Amino acid sequence: MMTAMTTDPDCVFCSIVAGEVPAEVVHSSDHSLAFRDLDPQAPTHVLVIPRRHVADIGALTAAAPDEAVALLAAVQVVAELDGMGNAYRLVFNTGAAAGQSVPHAHAHVLAGRDLGWPPG
């Protein structure tokens, strides 16, 4: 599905996509950007975001399912680049009650330590 790319001037992740806010970018593709989290919760903590501004992964899947698939492909590239192999945790906090603080869809890719279950 093709829809116009959207951006929000008040969104910090859109500002990173635009190059207006610095970030340690580890991977970039037509539809996604991956950069290190400012406040890492594991030795490796990378955020993978769609370039399009959408509130969460559900909204991305509804608006542009191909871009949701591209996001997952980017996660796997990041995991391989960062030497995580197949041992990483992928988290989409969705909604404030689930801990989402930035309303631009993003995947947390966490690795490099034992990750307990259930998550906090």
Binding residues vs ligand AMP (CB under 6 A): 12, 21, 23, 37-39, 47, 93, 99-102
For the CB of residue 81, give the shortest distance to ligand AMP in the complex, in Å. 17
Q: In the complex with ligand AMP, which residue's Cβ is closer, 29 or 93?
A: 93
Beta bridge partners of 32: 50
Identify the CA nearest to 49 among candidates 3, 109, 8: 109
**Is 108 known to be catalytic?**
no
Helix (H) or strand (E) holding 58: helix 57-63
Task: Please state, in angstroms and as integers, the Cα–Cα distance from residue 55 to each residue in 63, 75, 80, following that order.
Answer: 11, 19, 27
For the CB of residue 105, give the shortest distance to ligand AMP in the complex, in Å. 9
Parallel, antiparallel or unpaired: strands 25-28 and 44-50 = unpaired
- Candidate list 31, 104, 106, 108, residue with the active-site label: 106
**Whole-number Å distance between alpha carbons of 118 and 84:** 21
Q: In the complex with ligand AMP, which residue's Cβ is closer, 1 or 22?
A: 22
For the CB of residue 89, give the shortest distance to ligand AMP in the complex, in Å. 13
Q: In the complex with ligand AMP, which residue's Cβ is closer, 4 or 96?
A: 96
Catalytic residues: 106
